[in-house]
Structure formats: structure tokens, C-alpha cells
Amino acid sequence: MLRGSGRWASQFKNLHKINTKNKPPFFTFSTGTDSADSKKSQPSSAPPPIQVGFTESAGRGVFATRRIGAGELIHTAKPIVSHPSLSSLHSVCYFCLKKLPNKPLFQRDGVSFCSQGCQNQSQDFHEIEKRADWSTFDDYCQTHGLKYPLLVKRFACLVISGFASASSLDILQPASLSPEMIPLMEKEFWLLRSTFQDADITAEQLVFLTKQWYSGVLARIRINAFRVELACGSYEDLLSSAAASVEAEGAVGNAVYILPSFYNHDCDPNAHILWLENVDARIMALRDIDAGEELRICYIDASMDHEARQTILAKGFGFQCNCLRCSSHQ
């Protein structure tokens, strides 16, 4: 397993940079356009103050369409696909990754949910999933410390159940898979495919599940999946004087989103992604951002030194970082 791959976006210590004096951070929702600034009571369904455009050096990027204040919630995002980590399987909701009470009320076929709503939303893909015996597949992932095949498995179940399109992730940038990863990936692919076949999923239902589809999805998940770490505490806790020491518990799972994946990396980011109680991501401004400025998040643990950051970014994400902080070797 390649350490450092997958996005690690929770540098909660960065929160101390937020200036909370003048405005209520987090709660301000975008009013969408400059002209809408005067209409203070815009509904929260207004489009976020961002647009996706092209950067000079990093391809696609996300830009502010108006001034965004420090601490402002820029937008939220629901995942296309998510999965609890195997170690969190019985402590978080199988659908939304919310921490479960000691005695979960909503259990079905060996998995637990935080609510009836999550159980209902899981019904279609779980109907497909529970038809198969996943013990060999899960054991393989457990033994090899693999987390991404679990996301592909759930994505495949979503596709078979008609809940997602097989091409839903195509818009994301793929990682280039190294030659030594190909045989490992093929093994995962055959395990996944044979598990479905043994469960009497028809050839027609599995027509999308080719080696090419698997490798394309895995290559996208590899660099676009976020480690989901739930922040301890509430909005208020995050904003309190203790904000600088707010810590996240360990990762409860992994998830892939579309819009959050369009943010480029910076080792001294102006935006930040966090999870409060479940897999729904919140992207917020870490400092004041001008209209037209590119919004960047940090893909890795920003507290690492220059050399460690460069190594992980090159290995896990395939690029050399030329951000201001790296340029000055900080």
C-alpha cells in the first residue's frame, strides 16, 4: 500500500488562522454572484461563490467568483461513493459514516445505520451487496491494507442497482498506475468480478465491469479519495478559543466527491475541507480570498517538513509542488 496516497485534508490546527472577530464563520452561505451581495437573505440553495477554470500550471482549478471572507463556508458536498474503513465498520453508519451509539437502532443484515433515512438510502446497493459472500474479498483487502477496492466494490453495487452510472467518476483526473500495480489491480478485479458472478448477478448486469473499467475507476479513486476524519465537537467548539487544538479522531472511512476533487493543492492553503458529523464535506475559507483568486486545499498533512511533503506528493499524487511555501523550502 502506498502511504500518502488518498487525500488527507484535515489540518485542524490551521483553524487558528481564522479571524472570527468580525463575522460568524461557517454559517455564511454563498450568495452566488457579486450582484447578489446586497440581497443578504439569499436562500442557502444559491450557487456557491466559485467556478471551475484552468490554471497556468496545474490544469483545472477552482476560483472565487467574489470576495470570500475567512471562515466562510464556501460549499458543502455529498460523496459519489463512500465506504467505512474496515476498522470502523461497526462503529460508524454504513452509509454516512456518522459515529453510532453503543447500541445502534437501525441494523440490517449485519450492518448498522445511524437512521432510518440512511438505511433507506442504502437499500438499493445493499440489496445487491448482500447477495454475495464478500469474505474472500474483504479478507484480501484487510490482509493487504487496501481501502480503495472497497470503494470500487460499493461503486459497482451502486451501478448494478441503477443508483449510479458506471461513468460517474470519469470526469475526475486519473492517477497513472505504475507497472508493479497492474498485477495487484488485476487480482482485485478478478476477486470482485468472481464474487459478483458467484452471487448470480447476471452477465448483463456486469457488462460494465471490465478490467478497463476497474483500472480506470481505481486510478481515479487513488488520487481523488479523501480520508474522512470526523472533527470532534461542534461548530461552536471549532470556533472556540480551543480551535487551535481541535483534533480529529482517526479516519472513519474514505469518500470520493466531484467538486472537492477540482481543488488544487497548496502546502499553505487558503481553503480547507472538513467533516463535522458525517461524510458530507464542508469546504471553508481559511483566510480572506479575493474575487478571481484560486482556492487551494492541502492534500496532505501540512505539518510535515518540505522534503516529506515533496516525497508524498510525488509518490501519492504524481506532482512536484511549487507552491510559495515549497519555493522558499519552508
Q: Judged by CB under 5 A, does residue 230 bind Zn ion?
A: no
C-beta of 278: minimal distance to Zn ion in Å? Answer: 6
Q: Judged by CB under 5 A, does residue 323 bind Zn ion?
A: yes
C-beta of 101: minimal distance to Zn ion in Å? Answer: 12
Q: Which of 68, 93, 166, 289 binds Zn ion (CB under 5 A)?
A: 93
Q: Judged by CB under 5 A, does residue 114 bind Zn ion?
A: yes
CB contact set of 180 (below 8 Å; sequence gap of 6+): none
Contact segment (CB under 5 A) with Zn ion among 97-105, 142-150, 174-182, 254-262 equals 97-105
Q: Between 93 and 255, name the residue whose CB sits nearer to Zn ion.
A: 93
Q: How many CB atoms lie within 10 A of CB 14?
A: 19
Q: Which of 231, 267, 298, 312 binds Zn ion (CB under 5 A)?
A: 267
> What string marks each residue from 42 to 61 as x (binds Zn ion by CB under 5 A) or -?
--------------------
Largest CA-CA distance found in the chain, in angstroms, rounded:
60
C-beta of 192: minimal distance to Zn ion in Å? Answer: 25
Q: Judged by CB under 5 A, does residue 304 bind Zn ion?
A: no
Contact segment (CB under 5 A) with Zn ion among 17-25, 46-54, 142-150, 321-329 equals 321-329
Q: How many residues does the chain have?
A: 330
Instruction: State the number of binding residues for Zn ion (CB under 5 A).
Output: 10
Q: What is the per-residue burial (b if ≥16 Cβ within 10 Å, else e) of 232-255? A: eeeeeebbeeebeebebeebbbbb
Q: How many CB atoms lie within 10 A of CB 162?
A: 11
> Among residues 159, 164, 162, 156, which one has the least CA distance to residue 188?
156
Contact segment (CB under 5 A) with Zn ion among 7-15, 113-121, 164-172, 283-291 equals 113-121
Q: Between 46 and 326, name the residue whose CB sits nearer to Zn ion.
A: 326
C-beta of 5: minimal distance to Zn ion in Å? Answer: 17
Q: What is the spatial distance between Cα 25 and Cα 68, in angstroms, rounded to a whole number? A: 11
DSSP string of 44-93? TTSPPSEEEEE-SSSSEEEEESS-B-TT-EEEEE--SEEEE-GGGTTTB-
Gyration radius of the chain over CA positions: 20
C-beta of 311: minimal distance to Zn ion in Å? Answer: 12
Residues that bind Zn ion (CB under 5 A): 93, 95-96, 98, 114, 118, 267, 321, 323, 326
